[in-house]
Amino acid sequence: MSHRGGNSIRSRITEEPRGWEQDESVRLDLYNSDLWLMIDTDGVNAKPFSHGGFANMWAGAQATYAARRGRVFYEVRIGQNNRDVSAPPEERLMFLLRCGWSPLGAGMVLGEEPLSYGYGGSGKASTDSQFKDYGGPFDSGDVVGCFLEYRDDGVPIISYALDGRSLGVCYMANEARNKPLFPHLLTKNVQFEVNFGQRKPWFPPSEDEAAGGWTQIGRLTDRDRQRNYLPPDKREDCTMLMMCGLPAAGKSVWAEKHCSENADKRYCVLGTNSIIDRLKVMGLPRQRNYHGRWELLIERATKCLNDLFEVACRRKRNYILDQTNVYASAQRRKMAPFDGYRRLAVVVVPEHDEYQRRLDRQRKVEGKEVPDQAIASMKANFSIPSDHDGLFDEVVFTELPRREAEQLVARYNREAAGAAGGGGRGGGRGGGFAGGFHQRHQGTDQQQHSRPYSNYSDNRPHHQQQQYKQERRGGGGGGGWRGGGGGRGRGSGYGFGHGGGGRAY
């Protein structure tokens, strides 16, 4: 499973073995795991992606079965550090593995949410993002034993061993009373191998421990174990939900709520926000380390997202594509690999004033600064998906109903067209917005991998494009948020062209 950094992403992808979910042995779960963790066909070896932004992302996986009672354990052998790691020089690379236990439906970042318990190679144990010193560090070649004992009252006791040496009790998990717990691994740039019972223990329990009834989790009977969530049976049973809306419209909020309300579907959210959420150190968001360089973070996350598309379409899962997706050509391109899935578009168009409040709040609270010209381009080209062209099985409107949403989007289209005239950012060089930004990015949407705010080509219906061209030739400002001729001119600004004119967005 070794890969060189220069290879294409497709060379790094391991195909999903046919019928793996019918295997009744305990193995690493291809469904309840991160897409960027490559698990071998036997389900015992794994290697995370480490190129680009993946070098700073944790990759996790649960096992296919949990323990319900008794005394059980598994082992993990720490493998080699990935050699195909690439990251900016200012980034501190980490090579770590965390192992432990978590309940059904847990997030993949072990030890950073309630009822999730991990012990890592830095010599720290954690649960609910609360870290403590425990056991000392471990590294490549070491074997960590992960032990779970259910008391008579159902309270699980979690302990570990390092190369056969007991490290003592780590957690008395009272809050997880009577809950089945799954083996859970989390890695950053480190390969690993698990032993759930497919072979004799690397470090067998002592005679006293063996007499106490310790069992490898893979040797439990069906009565003493619980199966993890199962994937859809076939591709046609999978769902792809494509969010559609301007930045800060509320797409991520809706996606998070939908995931929570449909936990059994194990939606995998594909988006730059979800990737950035995984760029953490000791449970702290990596945004704090970027000190305003938000676009750099977005650029790295976008490259990761493009690679994940190559993996996602090869897995039987349910997805939510959490991007703006307002360009018609982008909608078609992104949905094409998911042919056969049930494809739904979820359109998020709040009232205009409410949208402005959300955008301002996002900029102030989260530090996200989507360039004004990017939003203007999205408004100009916003195309509401249709459920009549065969691309989507259904189109859902979460805020404004269809008719009102269509009217507001049409207004955005018209006002953006008006802003492109001479009354916008100057009539020089073809007229402000159209002569500068639009021309430079015309056709970008045809590229295989989009830019962070991506896809600036004109995807509106033909009659709207013709109206837009006429207004550009007219040179006069027209409507909406433009400042009007001569007002608040700011020169060339964001590459919008030269000359006087009002602020056009």
Q: Which of these three, 419, 442, 464, is where a domain ends?
A: 419
Strand stretches in 238-309, DSSP E? 239-244, 268-270, 280-281, 284-285
Token pair, residue 307, equals 């690679």
Report the CATH number that the domain containing residue 218 is assigned in CATH. 2.60.120.920
Give yes or no: residues 239 and 218 share one domain: no
Using alpha carbons, select from 11, 35, 395 the residue that is nearest to residue 231: 35
Q: Could you tell me if 307 and 331 lie in one domain?
A: yes
* Cβ–Cβ under 8 Å, residues 128 and 202: no
Residue 88: per-residue pLDDT: 67
Give me the domain span that covers residue 397. Answer: 235-282+292-419
**SS3 category, 306:** helix
Asked if 60 and 184 count as a contact pair (C-beta separation under 8 A), the reply is: yes
Helix (H) or strand (E) holding 153: none
Asked whether residue 212 is domain-assigned, the answer is: yes
pLDDT at 491 (0 to 100): 32
This model's pTM is above 0.85: no
* Assigned domain for 444 exists: no
Residues 167 and 266 in one domain: no
**Are the C-beta atoms of 85 and 50 separated by less than 8 Å?**
yes
pLDDT of 207: 66
- Are residue 264 and residue 197 in the same domain, yes or no? no
Backbone phi, psi, residue 470, to 5°: -65, -45
Instruction: Note whether 66 and 125 are same-domain residues.
Output: yes
Q: Give the CA distances from residue 277 to residues 114, 287, 294, 304, 460, in Å, rounded to whole numbers and listed in that order.
A: 17, 9, 13, 13, 33
Residue length of the chain: 505
Note the pLDDT of residue 285.
54
Task: Classify residue 108: in a domain, yes or no.
Answer: yes
Report the alpha-carbon distance of residue 58 to residue 60 in Å, rounded: 7
Arithmetic mean of pLDDT over the chain: 82
464 domain-assigned: no
Please say which residue of 419, 434, 463 terminates a domain: 419
Task: Please indicate, yes or no, if residue 479 is contained in any of the structural domains.
Answer: no
- Do 26 and 166 fall into the same domain? yes
Q: Is residue 425 domain-resident?
A: no
CB-CB neighbours of 254 under 10 Å? 20
Any domain includes 496: no
C-alpha angle 294/300/304, rounded to 5°? 140
In this structure, the answer to whether residues 101 and 202 fall within a common structural domain is yes
What is the model's pLDDT at position 504? 26
Angstrom distance (rounded) from CA 147 to CA 4: 36
Task: In whole angstroms, give the CA distance from residue 453 to residue 3.
Answer: 30
**Per the structure, how many domains does the chain have?**
2
| Residue 62 falls in which region: left (phi positive, over 0), alpha (psi -120 to 50) or beta | beta
Residue 23 to residue 65: CA distance in whole angstroms: 11
- Reported in sequence order, the residue ranges of 374-424 that DSSP labels E, i.e. its strands, are 394-397
Residues 90 and 123 in one domain: yes
CATH at residue 390: 3.40.50.300
E strand segments, 312-416: 319-321, 342-347, 394-397
164 and 260 inside one domain: no
CA-wise closest residue to 231 among 411, 17, 457: 17
Q: At what angle do helices 462-474 and 402-419 cross, to 10 degrees?
A: 30
209 in the same domain as 332 = no
Whether residues 208 and 331 share a domain: the answer is no
Mean pLDDT (10-residue bins), the chain, 505 residues: 49 81 96 97 96 93 98 98 78 90 97 98 98 98 98 98 97 98 98 98 78 89 97 96 98 96 95 85 52 73 94 96 96 96 98 96 81 91 94 98 98 85 40 34 36 38 47 38 34 29 28
Q: Which residues pair with 241 in a beta bridge?
A: 320, 344
pLDDT recorded at residue 280: 62
Task: Verify that 206 and 276 share a domain, yes or no.
Answer: no
* Final residue before a domain boundary, out of 367, 394, 419: 419
In the chain, the amino acid numbered 96 is L
Could you tell me which residues come within 8 angstroms of residue 421 by beta carbon, excluding any fewer than 6 positions away?
A: 427, 431, 432, 471, 472, 474, 475, 476, 477, 478, 482
Does residue 445 belong to any structural domain of this protein?
no
Quick one: tokens of 431?
Answer: 């007229």
Q: Label the pairing between strands 284-285 and 319-321.
A: unpaired
